[in-house]
Copies of this chain bind each other. A is one copy, B any other.
Amino acid sequence: MPDFEVKTPEGDTSERQVCTTCGYIAYENPKIVVGTVVVDDGRVLLCRRAIEPRSGFWTLPAGYLELQETTAEGAKREAFEEAGADIALDGILAVYNISRIGQVQIIYRGTMQTPGLSAGIESLEVGFFRWEDIPWDRIAFPSVHWALQAWREIGTQPLGAPFTNPPQDLRGTKRLDAATVAL
């Protein structure tokens, strides 16, 4: 098992995890999550999670972007893997920062390209929900709420500047204070 210590490598400005056995520097950068609000006949695609965290709760099809794929390809791959959905993307609906856990989420708006859904191995069930039927008390993550609200606001209108975190959730945890963040 690797054994890491926290230190600042020579020439670096931040502390990093460095393996005491082999000297490997684990540069941990934020990870990119790509997902989609998939809309069909006024309903939105949700997946009930079969895995932790938040197993049993509902989420958008989304996951970590892999190397050598574009954000659009990743969003389409996740919809296919988690919901068996063959989707087309309109464009970017929202960009969310979850800096507490080192994530940047890029959320597309999309539509079904071919009919048909089937729950992938990371989903217990999948389905389309009208706004009033969304299981609001069983949503997995705050950013799913935000993205659903963004969809509610924009509907089928042309996409504009991306939605972002609600103001009270915008701040990172390490640098700067709220007053210096002018987004």
8 Å CB interface, A34-90 against B: 64-73, 76-77, 87-89
Picked from B14, B23, B64, B110, the residue with its CB within 8 Å of the CB of A29 is: B64
Interface on chain A toward B: helix, strand, loop, or mixed SS? loop
Let me know if A172 and B70 touch, CB within 8 A: yes
By the criterion CB–CB under 8 Å, are A70 and B91 in contact? no
Count of identical protomers in the assembly? 2
Q: Is the CB of A67 within 8 A of B2?
A: no
Complex CA–CA separation, A107 to B85 (angstroms): 30
Fill in one digit per residue for A100-113: 1 if any B CB lies within 8 Å of its CB, else 0: 10101010101001
Binding stretch for chain B, among A124-132, A141-149, A156-164: A156-164
